[in-house]
A and B are shown apart, each in its own frame.
Chain A
């Protein structure tokens, strides 16, 4: 039972190669982190897994629990259990946060079946409390006028409400001050479970002080170039990504 990325290759619509054969397996119960310099393809990887239509998959596969999701649309992948926490979440003017999350949950129910509104709000409020989000965020339009930290907390709230099988968090730590980072980490840690796999994409070791990964991978130029335990992140923090250049020269 895993999110299995096998030799995944993807280009932009103009043919520019971004992913040049990524292989990675995230079993349920584990937290993996991908680190790497800007432009290494980390964010692209997360979008391609989510099914973004701006990329062309030219090779390889993505399977969840043995099922190939390559032919699934963006929304089908979400309903199948993939969750992407966005680096830059969109604003959706005029759609309240509560209605947005409700629509997402409703999309998972069979036609004709309605969400129990009372149970829904109870669950929503409990999770908002954990993320120290004010109740007024239910009525506010999705991400509109939210600070960077509020947007990221809102991503984690959605993740907690949708209870996905596999979570991909794209630079969730960017733009967060230390207090917000701790709250976000609390939410993510609360989601750790033997039934769930997680992939953290980050530039910095800092996030990994609060969410301890089981494995750390380094991505560069569209490939995973190194994998190791949590100590790899510390090493990167100390020495930077220079070893990549050295490796390239060697």
Chain B
């Protein structure tokens, strides 16, 4: 990073480095790492490196929605392409630029939450190492027309990257941001430690989508921190199709009365892939609503862990909070672990949590086959439909189509036997 960076940021990076080095590595008996495969946390030999891939090639491959409000392409955290058509007054910049031009604004919101779902050490490593990403600030009463799309490519063997997304919405504003994580090639192992901070201002609507489709020899830690002010609505959606191992930690803090957080996820692990999902719905204020729906379709020897907690503070009366994790077991050898949890300290609260694991029933398959659809296609249609139910909650046709294109790629990959 250049010397024009604000002093506060440099100081925070140094402090974060020290914190990273002093924090202990997760241990088997840590509650937040129950069932986790801790061997995946050995990042020795991985380091930050400049991209060795052709930028032109990566830019050409960065197709998403087609029409966007802004589009950024990063390769190993270096900006290689940007286009921005947002209206005046909206800040939509690479984080490295925003730190220089809007330092105080970034400082107000940058990594304010305590990472409490297990990855504090890796959040510290992210903070110490982050060099770029996206910063969006939408002023009061402003709607960003279209979607902001960000592509994060990992290039070269044994590289580490630290993509960062910080989105802040003012009063009664509206924005949608999509992060897409991919690898330049299928064979180079990488480590991605991504962090996104979403601060939804009063009565605003903030939609965020993360598509994790890195190659199957890479590992990912993705930390999502969402806060909602009074009457704000935040929607976070995570798709996992890639990586050998991915850990998602998502925390929604419902700070404002009457606010809402939708926490959505679709994961389709196959072969030996492992997805480790930890969530926290923290109801701080009264009358807020949170709804979590995670769906996993597990193939082959894949494995998922879902651990979610709804936590209702003493003052958060009239909370509505729901948490559902559904696992569709597509093989006899996959493994889905679910640990739903609830802690209620307020009155007049409506909460439910549940997790189910099931296989496709013979009768359902019979029905599709009786229409001529072969058994492989029938199972695929049902599994796709299982995911579609979550995707439809995005409520935007173009975004849904983009997410579904990654889901279809994954199913095609599974049908072809993978490689």
- Closest-by-CB residue of A relative to B381 is A95
Bound-state CA distance A90–B361 (Å) is 10
CB of B368 closer than 8 Å to a CB of A: yes
Given contacts A53-B362, A53-B366, A86-B367, A103 and B373 within 8 Å (CB-CB): yes
Minimum Cβ distance to chain A for residue B265 (Å): 15
Select from chain B the residue with minimum beta-carbon distance to A88: B363
- Chain B residues near A94: list those with CB within 8 A: 384-389, 392
Query: Given B364, B370, B372, B392, which contacts A92 in the complex, CB threshold below 8 Å?
Result: B364
In the assembled complex, how far is the CB of residue A62 from the closest CB belonging to chain B, in whole angstroms? 15
A206 CB-CB contact with B under 8 Å: no
Q: Interface digits, B375-419 against A, CB 8 Å rule (1 contact, 0 not)?
A: 101100110111111001000000000000000000000000000
Provide the bound-state CA to CA distance between A194 and B76, in Å.
68
Contacts of A101 in B (CB 8 A): 371
Bound Cα distance from A74 to B377, whole angstroms: 13
**B interface majority secondary structure:** helix
Please tell me if A100 contacts chain B, counting CB pairs below 8 Å: yes
Q: How many chain A residues touch B (Cβ–Cβ < 8 Å)?
A: 30
B19 within 8 A of A: no
> Is B374 interfacial (CB 8 A cutoff)?
yes
Does B353 sit within 8 A of A, measured CB to CB? no
| Residues in A whose Cβ lies below 8 Å from that of B367 | 86, 89-90, 92
Measured in the bound complex, the distance between the Cα atoms of B370 and A176 in whole Å is 23
Which residues of A have CB within 8 Å of B361?
A: 90
The answer, among A54, A79, A99, for a CB contact under 8 Å with B372, is A79
Q: Is the CB of A78 within 8 A of B370?
A: yes
Q: Does A65 count as interface, using CB distance less than 8 angstroms?
A: no
CB distance from A69 to the nearest CB of B (A): 13
> Is B369's CB within 8 Å of the partner chain A?
yes
CB pair A93–B371 under 8 Å, yes or no, is no
Question: If A78-B369, A103-B373, A104-B373 touch, does A90 touch B363 (CB 8 Å cutoff)?
Answer: yes
Query: CB-CB < 8 A to B374: which residues of A?
Result: 75, 107
Cβ-defined contact, A103 with B370, below 8 A: no
Determine the residue in chain B with the shortest Cβ distance to A159. B371
Inter-subunit contact A158/B366 (CB<8 Å): no
B364 partner residues in chain A, CB cutoff 8 A: 90, 92
| A73, B385: Cβ atoms closer than 8 Å | no
Q: A73 — which chain B residues lie within 8 A by C-beta?
A: 369, 375
List chain B residues, Cβ under 8 A from A162: 371-372
Decide if B381 touches A103 in the complex (CB within 8 Å). Answer: yes
Given contacts A90-B363, A103-B381, contact A74 B369 (CB under 8 A): yes
- Which residue of B362, B368, B385 contacts A93 across the interface (Cβ within 8 Å)? B385
What residues on B are CB-neighbors of A158 within 8 Å? Answer: 371
Contact bitstring A108-150, B, C-beta under 8 A = 1, else 0? 1000000000000000000000000000000001000000000
Q: How far is the CA of A94 from the CA of B371 in the complex (A)?
A: 17
Residue of A74, A103, A104, A158 ringed by the most chain B CB atoms within 10 A: A74
In the assembled complex, how far is the CB of residue B244 from the closest CB belonging to chain A, in whole angstroms? Answer: 27
On whether the beta carbons of B384 and A78 are closer than 8 Å, the reply is: no
Tell me, yes or no, whether A26 is within 8 Å of chain B by CB.
no
* Contact status B386-A93, CB under 8 Å: yes
A219 within 8 Å of B by Cβ? no
A226 close to B (CB within 8 Å) = no
B342-377 interface mask toward A, CB cutoff 8 Å, 1 = contact, 0 = none? 000000000000000000011110111111111101
Are B385's CB and A141's CB within 8 A?
yes
Chain B's nearest CB lies how many Å from the CB of A160? 13
The answer to whether A74 and B385 have CB atoms under 8 Å apart is no
Interface presence of A8 (CB below 8 A): no
CB distance from A225 to the nearest CB of B (A): 28
Q: How many angstroms between the C-alpha atoms of A7 and B82 in the bound complex?
A: 73
Smallest Cβ-Cβ distance to B385: which chain A residue? A94
Complex alpha-carbon distance, A180 and B386, angstroms: 30
CA distance A77 to B371 in the complex (A): 9
CB under 8 Å from chain A, chain B span 98-133: none
Interface CB pairs A-B, < 8 A, 19? A50-B370, A54-B362, A74-B366, A75-B369, A77-B370, A78-B370, A83-B370, A84-B370, A90-B361, A92-B364, A92-B382, A94-B389, A95-B388, A100-B368, A100-B371, A103-B373, A103-B377, A107-B377, A158-B371
